[in-house]
Structure 1
Amino acid sequence: MAPRPYYDDQGCALPFDQVMQLEKIDDGTFRSVTKAYSPTGGENGTYGGHVYAQAVWAAAQTVDDGFLIHNVTGWFTLGGRPSEHFVYSVNKVRDGYNYCTRSVTVTQAAEKGTMFTCTCSFKRDETSSADYQDTCDIRTRFREVLKGKEDEPMEHEAAPSQDSASFRETYLPQHPDHFNPIAGLHLRKADMRKFNDPRAPIDRRQLTFYTLRGSLPLPTAPYPPPLQGAFKLTREANLHACAHLFASGRNSLFIIPNHLGRAREFTRMASLSHTVIFHVGIRDLTMTPEPRVPHPNAVPTLFEDGPLPLCNLEGNSGGDRDGRKWFVQESWLTRAAGGRGLHTSRMWDYESGTHLATTLQDGLIRFRPETKL
């Protein structure tokens, strides 16, 4: 049986929990249910963030309650096929009291070999007297590109299926009926030209806002977790973290040629490895439910019948006018040489300014021989 499509016949995109749904084969083997996002809309190539996040969710099925993903590095070895299921094989590396480690190998057509592998580290929640981070007021630093949309990230354009010049300038004009929404999250791309144009490539930035589609199981018991006193992490806390992982690599490598001003001069691009390090616990990673309020700028979410989710629970008030809680990824080019490029980002809670995670992606990117910087 083919994987389930990521949007239905009415054009509604699946919520995140359905995108990540797994079928258990045995205690260490799991299979995807939903088709991975295909940026081209065809049958070649899948969004790497799907297999990256779902590999962690598969690994989370093998750890005890109370452990939350805090570090994952993955290597992409073969391109994904949207028409085929992913099969996740989880290996137990170590179970300690505070930390546990898993490795995951992923295949599609078995005869083709491993297409992705990763190492995941989970840890127990703990408090610390030391909590330090760089401060960045996104609204102030990027005010010229956020003006008029500071409180409504959904007013930015949807992140494109593929953030390349050829897709924007050639493919879309030739295919005006193009419809290929990404499921799981709402992702919006800020137009950064006013910020980036006067700056050198190394100082340019891209802001991508993201918020949950649908709702997820509660990450703690009780919920919300008390500011003082004990609470228990559920296994589903990792599903909340996986939503951030899913967002972390979206259109990431295209930033390199775009920020270099050579958007049409690359000949080959592919992810090689991707690392995400979470700096916070579940209090800051929780994805609050999406309100069932249609937005004129957004592809609707396929909500299942049932009671409405409770939005803006205690400790999670705020958000946009409809009650959506937004996060933002600040991305930039760090290095390009030797047929490769390095994408770096910080992921923030847009409202509180908490630095949630740091990402590092090494990618294959080749430019035409005549390209000069």
Structure 2
Amino acid sequence: MSIAPPAGPGDPPPGPDTALDDLLGLLDLEPIERDIFRGESRPTIVPRVFGGQVAAQALVAAGRTVPAERGAHSLHAYFLRMGDPGAPIVYTVDRIRDGMSFTTRRVVAVQHGRPIFHLSASFQTYEEGLDHQAPMPSAPDPDSLPTAAEALPSYARHFTDPATAERLLEARAAVDLRYANPPPYATVGEVREPRSQVWFRTAGKLDDDPLLHVCLATYVSDMTLLDSVLLAHGRGGWAVGDVMGASLDHAMWFHRPFRADEWLLYDQESPSAAGGRGLGQARIWTRDGRLAITVIQEGVIRALG
């Protein structure tokens, strides 16, 4: 896994030279035994492993046991326990099925002798078939939107800790993520439609390996999906200290080829929040209008104060 510097007009700024390299290093798991891999973690802005990291690493582990010509088409995962960002994670892959067209893998992530995450993933040999999709929603051009570095200082007054904006920028330095409308922490106390749009791409060019692009999209998919739940209640999230939240489960379907180093529109909405849980569902589109991914996630969301 490697990257080349972005080139050409409109490409994302490189930012810290090591940000994307560090992320790719996290995804480059160490093989320990047949079907057993070890991944490192890194400090996060909350005292647990970022869910997108463990999901992406688990998908890497699964993909390492599958023939390259079979691409990931779906994953279903449960977050079982909070991960320790100061300790490595061991991923054990179970080769559930190797069929003529489909391959299925189950992955268990373990820390300190206990499972923290469970993933089932399916891979398919490409084939032609029926083809239709919903129309892409309207959204502002990503190049017209402020970068995180440009937008975050104006939201800092809402944060409980003045250093939060800086930590957010550091945590997301590997990804160029731009909100089409203000994030929840920018409009605390204002009840809004439970819908959010974000454009994203990696902050640098990537190799052509399709599994790498799928894993990076998986990583990013956990960053903002539950924003729409917060918008419906005027809550700002962990950054302003008015909710406690954590991902419970996560599902993704990969419909069409895409590149994670090119603009992708993450169109997110929340149909329901009840029982201390909130549901987010989303579609991810390429800039030229192809439906690439569908995502659904439920998380614990408990109001504080």
Fold similarity call, TM over 0.5: yes
Q: Does the 8 Å contact 2:191/2:234 carry over to 1? A: no
Compute the displacement of 1:156 (Å). Answer: 3.6
Q: Does the 8 Å contact 2:43/2:86 carry over to 1? A: no
In structure 2, the residue matched to 1:88 is 91
Task: Give 1 or 2 for the bigger CA radius of gyration.
Answer: 1
**Alpha-carbon distance between aligned partners in 2 of 1:354 and 1:80, rounded to the nearest angstrom:** 35
Q: Does the 8 Å contact 1:32/1:85 carry over to 2? A: yes
In structure 2, the residue matched to 1:256 is 229
Q: Does the 8 Å contact 2:145/2:179 carry over to 1? A: no
Give 3-state SS (helix, strand or coil) of 1:105's partner: strand
In structure 1, the residue matched to 2:294 is 358
Give 3-state SS (helix, strand or coil) of 1:359's partner: strand
Change (3 A) 1:26 1:168: farther
In structure 1, the residue matched to 2:244 is 268
Q: Does the 8 Å contact 1:105/1:114 carry over to 2? A: yes
In structure 1, the residue matched to 2:6 is none
What is the TM-score with the length of structure 1 in the denominator?
A: 0.67
In structure 2, the residue matched to 1:127 is 128
> After superposition, where does 1:1-373 map in structure 2 within 5 Å?
12-15=18-21, 16-33=23-40, 35-36=41-42, 38-40=44-46, 44-110=47-113, 113-128=114-129, 130-139=130-139, 146=140, 150=141, 152=143, 155-157=146-148, 169-173=158-162, 178=167, 180-192=170-182, 203-219=193-209, 237-263=210-236, 267-280=243-256, 284-288=257-261, 325-350=262-287, 352-367=288-303
Compute the displacement of 1:26 (Å). Answer: 1.0
Change (3 A) 1:200 1:355: farther
**Alpha-carbon distance between aligned partners in 2 of 1:275 and 1:175, rounded to the nearest angstrom:** 29
Give 3-state SS (helix, strand or coil) of 2:162's partner: helix
In structure 2, the residue matched to 1:223 is none
Question: For structure 2, which runs of at least 5 residues remain unmatched after alignment?
Answer: 1-15
**Alpha-carbon distance between aligned partners in 2 of 1:241 and 1:191, rounded to the nearest angstrom:** 25
* Structural RMSD (CA): 3.0
Q: Does the 8 Å contact 2:145/2:180 carry over to 1? A: no
**Alpha-carbon distance between aligned partners in 2 of 1:106 and 1:25, rounded to the nearest angstrom:** 14
**Alpha-carbon distance between aligned partners in 2 of 1:190 and 1:268, rounded to the nearest angstrom:** 25
Q: Does the 8 Å contact 1:346/1:359 carry over to 2? A: yes
Identity of aligned residues (%): 27
Kindly indicate which of the two structures has a greater share of residues assigned to strand.
Answer: 2
Give 3-state SS (helix, strand or coil) of 2:295's partner: strand
